[in-house]
Amino acid sequence: MQTLTVAGGNLFQLAAIHLGDATQWIRIAQANNLSDAFITGIATLVIPDPDANAGGGIAATA
Per the structure, the complete domain to which residue 23 belongs is given by 2-51
Q: Cα–Cα distances in Å, from 8 out to 13, 33, 44, 54, 61?
A: 11, 17, 11, 25, 35
Task: Give pTM, 2 decimals.
Answer: 0.84
How many CA atoms, within 13 angstroms, populate the side-chain half-sphere of residue 50? 10
pLDDT at 53: 84
Q: How confident is the model at residue 60 (pLDDT cuts 50, 70, 90)?
A: very low
For residue 20, being part of any structural domain is answered with yes
pLDDT at 10: 97
For residue 59, being part of any structural domain is answered with no
For residue 40, being part of any structural domain is answered with yes
Using DSSP's 3-state secondary structure scheme, residue 53 falls into helix
For residue 12, being part of any structural domain is answered with yes
For residue 57, being part of any structural domain is answered with no
For residue 13, being part of any structural domain is answered with yes
For residue 56, being part of any structural domain is answered with no
For residue 9, being part of any structural domain is answered with yes
In the chain, the number of structural domains is 1
pLDDT at 4: 96
Looking at residues 12-28, what average pLDDT do you find? 95
Looking at residues 31-47, what average pLDDT do you find? 96
Asked if the model's pLDDT at residue 2 lies above 70, the reply is: yes
